[in-house]
Amino acid sequence: MHPKPKKSLGQNFLVDKNIQEKIIAACNLKKTDTVVEIGPGKGEITKFLLATVKKVVAVEIDRALCERLVEQFRPYPNFTLLHADILKTSLAHYKNLKIIANIPYYISTPIITYLLQYRKQIKVIYLTMQKELAGRLVATAGTKAYGSFSCFTQFYTQPKILFPIKNTSFWPKPKVDSSFVELKILKTPRVKVKDEELFFRIIRRGFNQRRKVLTNSLATIAPIKKLQGALRGRNLSQTVRAEDLSLEDFARLAGCLSG
């Protein structure tokens, strides 16, 4: 039985055997690992995981695919299937998790944001995602792709693009190419921040109006004089824009503006 791919669930199956093997090799799996696989689909990656690691917890939202997966992997005692939405699945009772996912493009950002809430339970996240999003995750200050999501991801993880994946590796073929990405969870966030809420508010507000100079886009967060003083203290020009600031700069700015 071959259920018809559901576009609404971002079902583009990875059919290229070479890429399947390349993904497994890149994940550096150990016999002792517990892996959460998001969206196992037809189990193309799952079958390799089951042969390699201690435990695989697969989270699949599609009932028809779940029925297939249960049948397919019945002989494997290390396989657990959750018929669930990953965005509603608690990972709180796990530790040292590896996450592996070829996730639908339209929820890549919510999934990464959701997973990072469980960063204490996770060691590393491996994701197949749209090439442009991967570029944003690793982008640094002063580049066009750099934005609030780059800052958010780099605050908590060490992101790395491992290799590209052509759209022809999937069926049905998506419009865009993909990248396979590693997000290593950092033991402590990349920069020291006293008030994380303020830090991310500054970043979001700054990038929401990325063409504006920072002193204007942050005018509702702090008085202009205080902002100007904070930029001077960091040796930054009064006309900088959010895209010019590193995480360290944002952290210092938040430090100056808090309290």
Q: Which residues in this chain contact ligand SAM in the complex, by CB under 6 A?
A: 9-14, 38-41, 44-45, 59-62, 65, 85-87, 102, 104, 107
CB of 85 to ligand SAM, least distance (A): 4
CB of 205 to ligand SAM, least distance (A): 29
Beta carbons within 8 Å of 40's beta carbon, 6+ residues apart: 46, 58, 59, 60, 65, 69, 81
Question: Among residues 3 and 189, whose Cβ is nearest to ligand SAM?
Answer: 3
Question: Among residues 49 and 247, whose Cβ is nearest to ligand SAM?
Answer: 49
CA distance 244 to 214: 10
CA distance 233 to 31: 51
CA distance 206 to 221: 10
Question: Among residues 14 and 231, whose Cβ is nearest to ligand SAM?
Answer: 14
Question: Among residues 10 and 159, whose Cβ is nearest to ligand SAM?
Answer: 10
Burial class (CB in 10 A: 0-12, 13-18, 19+), 258: middle
Q: CB nearest ligand SAM: which residue?
A: 39
CB of 1 to ligand SAM, least distance (A): 15
CA distance 32 to 200: 36
CB of 127 to ligand SAM, least distance (A): 11
Question: Among residues 14 and 218, whose Cβ is nearest to ligand SAM?
Answer: 14
CB of 201 to ligand SAM, least distance (A): 28
Report the chain's C-alpha Rg in angstroms.
Answer: 21
CB of 181 to ligand SAM, least distance (A): 14
The full 3-state SS of 6-74, as one line of letters, equals CHHHCCCEECCHHHHHHHHHHCCCCCCCEEEEECCCCCCCHHHHHHHCCEEEEEECCHHHHHHHHHHCC
Question: Among residues 85 and 196, whose Cβ is nearest to ligand SAM?
Answer: 85
